[in-house]
Amino acid sequence: MHVIDITQRTPDWHAWRNAGVSASDAAVVLGVSPYKTPWRLWAEKIGMLLPEDLSGNPIVRRGNALEDTARRGFEERHDTLLLPLCGESDTHPVIRASFDGLDNNGIPVELKVPHESTYLQVLEHGVASEAYRLYWHQVQCQIHVADAAEGWLVFHRAPGIAVDFRIPRDETFIRDTLVPRCLEFRARVEKKQEPERDPERDLYTPSGTELATWTRLSGEYRRLAAEKAKLDAALKTLKSGLDGIESQLVALLGDFAMGESAGLRVLRYAVAGAIDYKAALADVAPDVDPMRLERYRRASSDRVRITTLKEGTASGPFSEAEVQALRHATETDMGFYF
């Protein structure tokens, strides 16, 4: 292994990771990650899309905050010292790893500080748990980079509460699957050859004439959305005024159900409350199998949600000024003909 003198979670570290395939990328490259697809990772590597900012994620923040505690716990349990460092494979330098720690024998140790529900699943299902099966790929990649015979996967919950898995090197997997797929993926990044997209998970990104159309529509939508926001604010103010008048009129009614004067009629009436069917079912048939209720579910329907994004918050970098400029240009062209 070639050790890289770089501090983790710094801009230089992010750039170094982006220039290769890191151990944390392994599950994504192999298509087994529930969090990211190979296409999404490829798009981030070539700069088409920005990586998701996880700095505000409470689980990620907790993991970062407790990493040192988890490291010390492993050191105490196994009477060893862990050295965090970064390295590249001697045989394939584009395959890389940022180790939470290498023990005294050069064995990689991957530390996870998961949510309580994930930790309980690991306790119950062990090597069959989803978390173990997912991170197993990361540890195998670390084993390859470190040229080690085994690795450790640690799930830390609190001081003195952790589950340690010793993972032996799977040479067949590393040789026949991991390394070839990682090298193939890196080649796609360097040549900008797009992997196949998953329509259910990946973004559609227009190009050519479709990009021009999308950009024009984006500018027009943003303009109309801004106007709607102003009208909504005015409507909210008007409704507040009407609600205040209603309260005063109801107070004037006293015990009367209706009143009328000066061209204004007020009627007070009762509306029956909705039945809490969930509570009713729990009371009448508490042991019913939820799957039996699926036959009564109405047909699903498609909905669309459109979100106007600001520069710096969008996955795909864009210039709002350019979007508005295209909209103005389109309006000018249409004005010429009409």
Across all residues in the chain, what is the average pLDDT? 94
pTM to 2 decimal places:
0.82
How do residues 92-116 score in pLDDT, each as one tens digit? 999 999 999 999 999 999 999 999 9
Q: What is the pLDDT of residue 331?
A: 62
Percent of the chain with pLDDT over 70: 96
CA 88/CA 284 separation, integer angstroms = 63
Contact 141, 26 (CB under 8 A): yes
Radius of gyration of the chain from its Cα atoms, rounded to whole angstroms: 29
Cβ-based neighbour number of residue 81 at 10 Å: 13
DSSP-assigned letter for residue 48 = S
- Strand partners for 112: 155
Query: What average pLDDT does this structure show over 69-76?
Result: 97
Contact 209, 55 (CB under 8 A): no
Query: Binning pLDDT at 50, 70 and 90, where does residue 327 land?
Result: low
How do residues 112-140 score in pLDDT, each as one tens digit? 999 999 999 999 999 999 999 999 999 99
CA 306/CA 317 separation, integer angstroms = 17
Evaluate if residue 317 carries a pLDDT over 90. Answer: no
Domains, the chain, with CATH or none: 2-191 (3.90.320.10), 208-250+280-337 (no CATH)
DSSP-assigned letter for residue 24 = G
